[in-house]
C-alpha cells in the first residue's frame, strides 16, 4: 500500500504493543466470542490494563494523554484482524468523548476512570425502529420529575447494549412547559436502573459484537444524569457523529487494505494453466482500480486524522471519508469472493471472505448509511462548490 507518514516512531512502537496484545489475549478466544455474540468483561479489563482504552483521555481521568494517532493505531490493528466485536473505539473514541466534553466534574469522576480501565462498559443509544437514519425523529421520551427524569422508549441495534454499565440515551421531553424546548436531550442510564431491560439481536454480520434492543419502561434517573444542556441533544449527536464517522472510516479503510492485500496474494499464488490469476488483464485492471481508490481514500483519511489530531474537527470530511472507505471496502470484499471462484464460498477461506462481504455491508450502514451520507453531502453541494 502507499507509504504513510502520519505516524511517529512512538506510534510505531505502540502498534507493536497493540498487535502483541491482540494476538495473545484476543485472537485465541475470538471464534468462541463470535458464537456467543459477546466479548467477556475480562477482555475489556485486560485491554484497560494494557492501556488500550481511552488512549487520548487525560491522565487526570485515568487516560493516557496520548496523541490521536494512537487511537488510530488501535482501530487499524483491530480491523486487520477482523475483531469488530471487540469495538474498543466505541468505548474510547465514541462514548468517552461525550463525558470528556459535556460532563460535570462529578459525572466525570463517576464514569471516565472506569471507562478507561474497562471496569465500566459504555454504549450510546440513538437508533429506534422508525428512526435509524432519521435520528431527529426518535420517539423515546422523558418526563421531568421533582428529583430527576422518567424515561420510556425502545432503542434498537445498540452496540454493547446488553453488556453496557452506562448507556447514553437520547430522548425528548414529553411534559413540556409551554414555550419549552422540544429538542432531544442526552441522559445517562446506569446498567442496573429499574425499568431497563435488554435483549441481544441475533445477526449475521460482526458476529462477536453485542448488538441489542434496549427497553426503557419508566426508568427513573436522578437530576445528576442529564448530560450537557437540556434540549441540546441533537446538536451534540450531530457534532460527535463527526468523530464517530472518522473512526468508522479508519476502521473500514484498514479492513479494505487487509482484504485487498490478501486478495492480491491469492491471485499471485492461484495457478492457471498458463500462469496465475494476476496475469489476466481483466483481473489486474480491476485490482489496479481498487488499489487506486484505496490509496486515494487513505490519503484523504490521513488528512482527516492529522486535522483531528490538531483539534480541527470536520464532520463533513468525516462523512466523505466514511462514505468512500466503506463503499470501496464493499467492492473489494465482493471481488475477493468472485476471484476465488468456488473457493470463495467453500471451507474456512470461503467462510472468512463471505463473512467479509456481510461485515462490509454493516460498515456502510452503521454510523449513517451511505445513502444518508450521500443525501446530506448532496444537499450541501450548493454551498460547497
Which residues contribute to the site for ligand FAD (CB under 6 A)? 123-127, 132-133, 157-159, 206, 209, 211, 362, 365-369, 371-372, 375
Whose Cβ is closer to ligand FAD: residue 125's or residue 263's?
A: 125
Least spacing, CB of residue 375 vs ligand FAD, in Å: 4
Whose Cβ is closer to ligand FAD: residue 17's or residue 139's?
A: 139
Whose Cβ is closer to ligand FAD: residue 12's or residue 375's?
A: 375
348-353: list long-range contacts, CB under 8 Å, 24+ apart.
352/82, 353/259
Write out the DSSP string of 115-174: HHHTSS-EEEE--BTTBSS-GGG---EEEEETTEEEEEEEEEEEETTTT-SEEEEEEEES
Which cell numbers hold the place of 32? 468462541
Least spacing, CB of residue 125 vs ligand FAD, in Å: 5
Neighbour-count burial of 384, counting CB atoms closer than 10 A to its CB (0-12 exposed, 13-18 middle, 19+ buried): exposed
Q: What residue number has its CB nearest to ligand FAD?
A: 132
Which cell numbers hold the place of 213? 434492543
Least spacing, CB of residue 15 vs ligand FAD, in Å: 26
Whose Cβ is closer to ligand FAD: residue 239's or residue 372's?
A: 372
Least spacing, CB of residue 270 vs ligand FAD, in Å: 32
What's CA 376's distance to the chain center, in Å?
Answer: 20
Whose Cβ is closer to ligand FAD: residue 45's or residue 201's?
A: 201
Q: How far apart are CA 104 and CA 99, in angstroms?
A: 8
Q: How far apart are CA 374 and CA 371, in angstroms?
A: 5
Between strands 141-145 and 166-173, the pairing is: parallel
Q: How far apart are CA 72 and CA 70, in angstroms?
A: 5
Least spacing, CB of residue 3 vs ligand FAD, in Å: 33
Whose Cβ is closer to ligand FAD: residue 125's or residue 243's?
A: 125
Least spacing, CB of residue 281 vs ligand FAD, in Å: 34
Q: Is 202 helix (H, G, I), strand (E, B) or coil?
A: coil
Give strand ranges (E) for 177-297: 184-190, 196-200, 211-222, 226-227
Whose Cβ is closer to ligand FAD: residue 15's or residue 245's?
A: 245
Whose Cβ is closer to ligand FAD: residue 43's or residue 123's?
A: 123
Q: Which H or E element spans position 374?
A: helix 370-384
Least spacing, CB of residue 293 vs ligand FAD, in Å: 21
Least spacing, CB of residue 156 vs ligand FAD, in Å: 7
Give strand ranges (E) for the chain: 122-125, 141-145, 148-159, 166-173, 184-190, 196-200, 211-222, 226-227
Least spacing, CB of residue 253 vs ligand FAD, in Å: 18
Whose Cβ is closer to ligand FAD: residue 219's or residue 339's?
A: 219
Q: Is 201 helix (H, G, I), strand (E, B) or coil?
A: coil
Amino acid at each position: 500500500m502507499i507509504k504513510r507518514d502520519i505516524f511517529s516512531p512512538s506510534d510505531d512502537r505502540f502498534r507493536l504493543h497493540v498487535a502483541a496484545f491482540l494476538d495473545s489475549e484476543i485472537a485465541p478466544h475470538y471464534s468462541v466470542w463470535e458464537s456467543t455474540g459477546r466479548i467477556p468483561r475480562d477482555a475489556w479489563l485486560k485491554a484497560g490494563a494494557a492501556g488500550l482504552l481511552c488512549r487520548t483521555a487525560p491522565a487526570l481521568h485515568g487516560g493516557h494523554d496520548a496523541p490521536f494517532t494512537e487511537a488510530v493505531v488501535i482501530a487499524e490493528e483491530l480491523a486487520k484482524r477482523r475483531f469488530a466485536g471487540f469495538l474498543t473505539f466505541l468505548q474510547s473514541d465514541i462514548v468517552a468523548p461525550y463525558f470528556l466534553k459535556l460532563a460535570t466534574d462529578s459525572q466525570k469522576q463517576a464514569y471516565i476512570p472506569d471507562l478507561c480501565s474497562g471496569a465500566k462498559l459504555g454504549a450510546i443509544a440513538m437508533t429506534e425502529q422508525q428512526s435509524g437514519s432519521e435520528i431527529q425523529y426518535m420517539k423515546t421520551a422523558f418526563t421531568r420529575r421533582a428529583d430527576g427524569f422518567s424515561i420510556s422508549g425502545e432503542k434498537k441495534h445498540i452496540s454493547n447494549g446488553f453488556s453496557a454499565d452506562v448507556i447514553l440515551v437520547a430522548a425528548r421531553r414529553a411534559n413540556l412547559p409551554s414555550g419549552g424546548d422540544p429538542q432531544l436531550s442526552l441522559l445517562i442510564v446506569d446498567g442496573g436502573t429499574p425499568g431497563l431491560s435488554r435483549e441481544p439481536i441475533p445477526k449475521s454480520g460482526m458476529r462477536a459484537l453485542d448488538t441489542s434492543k434496549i427497553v426503557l419502561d419508566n426508568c427513573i434517573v436522578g437530576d445528576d444524569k442529564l448530560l450537557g444542556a437540556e434540549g441540546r441533544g441533537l446538536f451534540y449527536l450531530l457534532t460527535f457523529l463527526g468523530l464517530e464517522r472518522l473512526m468508522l472510516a479508519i476502521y473500514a479503510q484498514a479492513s479494505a487494505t487487509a482484504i485487498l492485500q490478501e486478495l492480491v496474494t491469492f491471485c499471485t499464488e492461484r495457478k492457471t494453466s498458463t500462469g496465475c490469476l494476476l496475469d489476466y488483464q481483466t483481473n489486474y485492471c480491476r485490482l489496479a482500480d481498487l488499489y487506486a481508490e484505496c490509496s486515494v481514500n487513505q490519503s484523504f483519511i490521513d488528512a482527516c486524522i492529522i486535522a483531528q489530531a490538531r483539534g480541527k474537527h470536520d464532520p463533513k470530511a468525516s462523512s466523505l471519508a466514511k462514505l468512500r472507505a466503506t463503499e470501496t471496502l464493499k467492492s473489494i470484499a465482493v471481488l475477493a469472493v468472485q476471484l476465488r471462484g468456488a473457493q470463495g464460498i467453500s471451507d474456512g477461506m470461503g467462510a472468512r471472505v463471505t463473512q467479509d462481504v456481510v461485515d462490509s455491508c454493516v460498515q456502510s450502514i452503521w454510523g449513517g448509511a451511505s445513502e444518508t451520507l450521500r443525501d446530506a453531502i448532496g444537499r450541501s453541494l450548493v454551498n460547497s462548490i
